[in-house]
Structure 1
């Protein structure tokens, strides 16, 4: 399947209305890039602004997209995972309605279903708007 992939519903466990990524832009074993257009119908939009909780969920779902696509490439069903921890969260700027953000997750460590990542989100001007370190755990 050629990138970018716009229909990612089979790659992540989240379902509408809780989906905070809409395109798989790029993928390698060590990194994934997603994009997301912020619509008025989004749960985390308030006063035409995408809230902090939406940005954090977008970053987490970008990590899930990496896992899901990796399993898809092996013809296996994507597992359900959980956020184990979030640290060093920095929200620098909140995106607004109809803006498309791009989020990059870099895998720092992966061992026995536990993945440590560094995640950064960027606005349409390629300015960093949020970052965090996350640990995700695959449910067994």
Structure 2
């Protein structure tokens, strides 16, 4: 998958989440079946505790990366980003939590997409490009 020529940092219109619940900062890469986002861990993040982004924050970052893919796809087609939710989590593995001011990169690969239900495989990478979390989840577009 190709990275975008320039990261898209104005993403508020591409995801349904609003501050302070936004867990993605920018769109780095996009294709029909893949997306790459980034997030800088800040002290003001609602999931920041004990000097790290919590497990809940990582899971929400994964889900919002998928939402970013859907929202950008809708944007390219001239429609507003739809609202969705996590339908199920099949497996999540977290080996390390990102620290204050670390920028993580989250990559999602769409395995299947049918009638608003998307099955994705997701990997979160540290600023050192090491896998710190991975999982498989389904997201569902609200009708």
Q: How does 1:53-132 map to 2 (within 5 A)?
A: 53-132=56-135
Which residue number corresponds to residue 9 of structure 2? 6
Please provide the CA RMSD for this pair: 1.0
Q: Deviation at 1:3?
A: 3.6
How far 1:88 moved relative to its partner?
1.3
What's 1:42 paired with?
45
Question: Could you report, residue by residue, the CA deviation over 1:98-126 in whole angstroms, capped at 9, with x for unpaired residues?
Answer: 00000000000001111000001000000
Partners of 2:142 and 2:43 in 1: how far apart? 32
Q: Distance in 1 between matches of 2:6 and 2:120?
A: 22
Alignment coverage as a number of residue pairs: 140
1:33 matched to which residue of 2?
36
Unaligned runs of 5+ in 1: none
Report Cα offsets for 1:78-104 as digits up to 9, x if no partner. Answer: 110111001210001001000000000
User: CA–CA distance in 2 between the matches of 1:45 and 1:95?
Assistant: 10
1:134 — aligned with what?
137
Gaps of 5+ in 2: none
TM-score normalised per structure 2: 0.96
For the 8 Å contact 1:81–1:136, the answer to whether it is kept is yes
